Structure 1
Amino acid sequence: MNLLRISGALILFTSVISCSPKVNVHKAVRNAEHQTDLMLKEITNKKATKSMNLVSPRTLENGELKLVPSKDWTSGFFPGELWYLYEMTKNEKWKTEAMTYTAQIEQEKMNSTTHDMGFKVYCSVGNGYRLTKDEHYKNVVIQAAKTLSTRFNPNVGAIRSWDHHEDEWGFPVIIDNMMNLELLFEATKLTGDSTFYQIAVAHANTTMKNHFRADYSTWHVISYNPETGKVEHKNTHQGYSDASAWARGQAWAIYGYTMCYRYTRNDKYLKQAEHVATFIFNNKNMPKDLVPYWDFDAPGIPNEPRDISAAAVIASALFELAGYSANKTDYLAKANRILSSIQNMYSSPKSGNKGFILDHSTGSKPSDSEVDVPLSYADYYYLEALVRKQGK
């Protein structure tokens, strides 16, 4: 009887410990290294049977590793992960791999058919420049910013997101596009040319004006008239409905405006990020582990898929936001709670998932695409969050 009582107490104690917001960064990094070693082998095996134009891992598809070409919006995340591993470990092995995979993305600096230049080039080449100060990387970043700038419409005051679905959207701008402004801000720092900065600020201001509801939830897609700049439609493409709060959209918003404050020190951006944080964490449908469902208004909650990618982006944003805000203690506690949840409950099985670090992300639920699977950008922002935690 005493043994049973002790066992029960031990189980309860273990449960309490597992729920506490403790993050073992050393263990997390070691696990990430182990998984990434496996990923590198899986990529080599996949390339042996597929086109060599496929350069980066994106997800698992029917249990198999899916690689994408450099033009895919997710192509820059894996090189970025390698740079973060190098930054945290100082192991030259990761630097060598990062340089190899980054080189395969550089050609995207001239691709003017997409707004995803920041995701592709800055997450890879930008991190490479940040850590090495290689002049070649600097020049790639500057050219990528020039290319992205061609998508800016002064009538709208924003950068065009997609070129597809022209029958549906005249000039679509998605909340995701906030993430690509970092490339422009950095280009001004590198060149002294304020044009990039001005475009980034204009885009951030237009997005702040039109993308947000009164409660600071965000629409996914705003369609503008390219001639007049007038808003024509407010809807979604990846969220549950036009009126819902798509979780990753909220994550892009808090991250994007925190980053804008970093470069401008304009208090309105800091306040915007704080307002978005309030919406996220006061939402009645935010789970106790702070890993959101794919949409805060999804009808089947609590039986809806989670989105670890949204959680990782939010955690990374909070570590930075904490450095600027009077709410520092609260934001750090929430960031650590998210990382603890991810580490203890949403990581891939060791040596599993072809080397992806995390599991249970949701790409596009309405399209039944990439639901409850690993995603490269979840891994990227998770590692970024660990880097930022180490810096606190």
Structure 2
Amino acid sequence: MKYKILTIAAICLLFACKESPKQETTTVAAKENQLNKTIDDAFKVAVDQYTYLGTQVTPGQYPKTYIPETDTFETSNSGWWCSGFYPGTLLYLDEAVGAPELKQEALSFLEDLKREQFNTTTHDLGFMMYCSFGNAERLQKNEAYEEILINSAKSLASRYNPTAKVIRSWDSAPWNKAGEGEIAVIIDNMMNLELLFWASEFSGDATYRDIAVNHANTTMKNHFRSDYSSYHQVTYDEATGGVNAQITNQGAADSSAWARGQAWGLYGYTVMYRFTKDQKYLAQATHIADYILNHPNMPDDMIPYWDFNAPNIPDALRDSSAAAIMASALLELSGYANEEQALNYYKASETMLMNLLSPTYLATNKENGGFILKHGVGNMPNKTEIDTPLTYGDYYLVEAMLRYQKLHGRNN
């Protein structure tokens, strides 16, 4: 991927040179240099924030969010779907700038988190275990990490239904609108497939890969509308595999385009292409990207409203977490797409990053409860985590910053 990514800068210069060789090339280079400097500064802020955040928690208490109005800091146990993001962000920060104290904090949380490798009650093991142990194993090969990841993949694969060819998302829960004999699948589940691909490549067992491919194919068929926007949830008949309902739990309406859901789809199908090199996944990812970037309700700063069809646009809240996920995905996708698309995705991700790293969204020292990003939206219909920091927003922001700098030959 490094080779492809490095060509994007050349593509940008090539396109610029077609208009005005000296002036445009200088402008592109200056913009990239400025963003790299901004990212350097943001990494320092992030390290300070997460050093402070670490004083608020101990292993077993995972940062979840912070409510500024009431000065309330919220945590979760290891079973919450976001538990992997805190140690994962700590590892990313150590990778980016060298932060051994943060790395040690991550390792102490991994020791607690490892119990979830046998959790068969959730589809979120990719978020929980791959964003944490996956990064740990990538940075330092370790047999213990490999065993934990394989066990996590086995637990995730246990939720696969061969009739519907999907991985079940939610079991019985208040938010699950699927009834008895039905399977709820949410678009978020595309993010958990990376764990299965890793397991297949590591073990040589194609079963994990086959499950991931089948799930992605079924999701591509039933989750997306003709304009490539996505429903949040599809409910399947457990016995026949037929579609019973297409709804949007966390968006403005069943027919709306919930911003983070579109981000999950974009990221998920980009990952699918990375592992399979199947052109249909690249086409799907580019269609989703084009839908997002060309949407008439996408603001000029490219920090999306929490739903592209929110009822009170332009006064609707933005979702910084959706922008962070999109920025990271677009940077990777720019390494796979054709030249024109690559330039568009690269420039869009630059705009997203520049604005996410502005004072509007980037916290200052000990502000925001220790989190990095402000103004995330968790679940608007349920009125939870509204206009607050979100641990996954931080994770994908730091990932996007790392990807951008690696694109320019830094942090390699």
Q: TM-score, with normalisation over the residues of structure 2?
A: 0.87
* 1:1-392 matched pairs, under 5 angstroms: 22-23=34-35, 24-43=38-57, 54-61=60-67, 62-165=70-173, 168-169=178-179, 170-326=182-338, 327-344=341-358, 345-392=360-407
Aligned-pair distance for 1:175?
0.2
Distance 2:325 2:299 in 1: 16
1:77 maps to a residue whose letter is: F
Q: Is the 8 A contact 1:109 1:147 kept in 2?
A: yes
Aligned-pair distance for 1:137?
0.5
SS at match of 1:363: strand
SS at match of 1:58: strand
Aligned to 1:10: none
SS at match of 1:104: helix
Distance 2:251 2:345 in 1: 26
Deviations 1:46-93 (A, max 9, x none): xxxxxx7x4210101432111100000011100000110111113322
2:251 maps to a residue whose letter is: G
2:43 maps to a residue whose letter is: V
Aligned to 1:3: none
2:94 maps to a residue whose letter is: Y
SS at match of 1:288: coil
Aligned-pair distance for 1:329?
1.6
1:55 maps to a residue whose letter is: Q
Aligned-pair distance for 1:281?
0.8
Distance 1:43 1:315 in 2: 29
1:65 maps to a residue whose letter is: F
SS at match of 1:286: coil
Aligned-pair distance for 1:41?
1.2
Distance 1:384 1:102 in 2: 19
Q: Is the 8 A contact 2:119 2:155 kept in 1?
A: yes
Distance 1:140 1:153 in 2: 23
Distance 1:167 1:32 in 2: 38
Aligned-pair distance for 1:168?
3.4
2:323 maps to a residue whose letter is: A
Distance 2:398 2:99 in 1: 15
Q: Is the 8 A contact 2:178 2:184 kept in 1?
A: no
Q: Is the 8 A contact 1:294 1:306 kept in 2?
A: yes
Aligned-pair distance for 1:135?
1.1
Q: Is the 8 A contact 2:62 2:77 kept in 1?
A: yes
Distance 1:354 1:373 in 2: 10
Distance 1:84 1:117 in 2: 19
Aligned-pair distance for 1:104?
1.5
Q: How many residues align?
A: 365
Which deviates further from its counterpart, 158-167 or 70-79?
158-167
Distance 1:100 1:332 in 2: 36
Distance 2:243 2:178 in 1: 13
Distance 1:350 1:277 in 2: 34
Aligned-pair distance for 1:167?
6.1
Distance 1:91 1:235 in 2: 43
Distance 1:383 1:193 in 2: 32
Which deviates further from its counterpart, 322-331 or 150-159?
322-331
Q: Is the 8 A contact 1:55 1:104 kept in 2?
A: no
Aligned CA distance change for structure 1 residues 36 and 171 (closer, same or farther; 3 Å): same
Deviations 1:102-156 (A, max 9, x none): 2221111101000000000011111100101111101100000001000000100
Q: CA RMSD in A?
A: 1.3
1:185 maps to a residue whose letter is: F
Aligned to 1:5: none
Q: Is the 8 A contact 2:51 2:102 kept in 1?
A: no
Give identity over the alignment, percent: 46
SS at match of 1:273: helix
2:278 maps to a residue whose letter is: N
Q: Is the 8 A contact 2:232 2:250 kept in 1?
A: yes
Distance 1:134 1:81 in 2: 19
Flag structure 2 segments of 5+ consecutive residues without an equivalent: 1-30, 408-412
Which deviates further from its counterpart, 325-334 or 155-164?
325-334
Aligned to 1:47: none
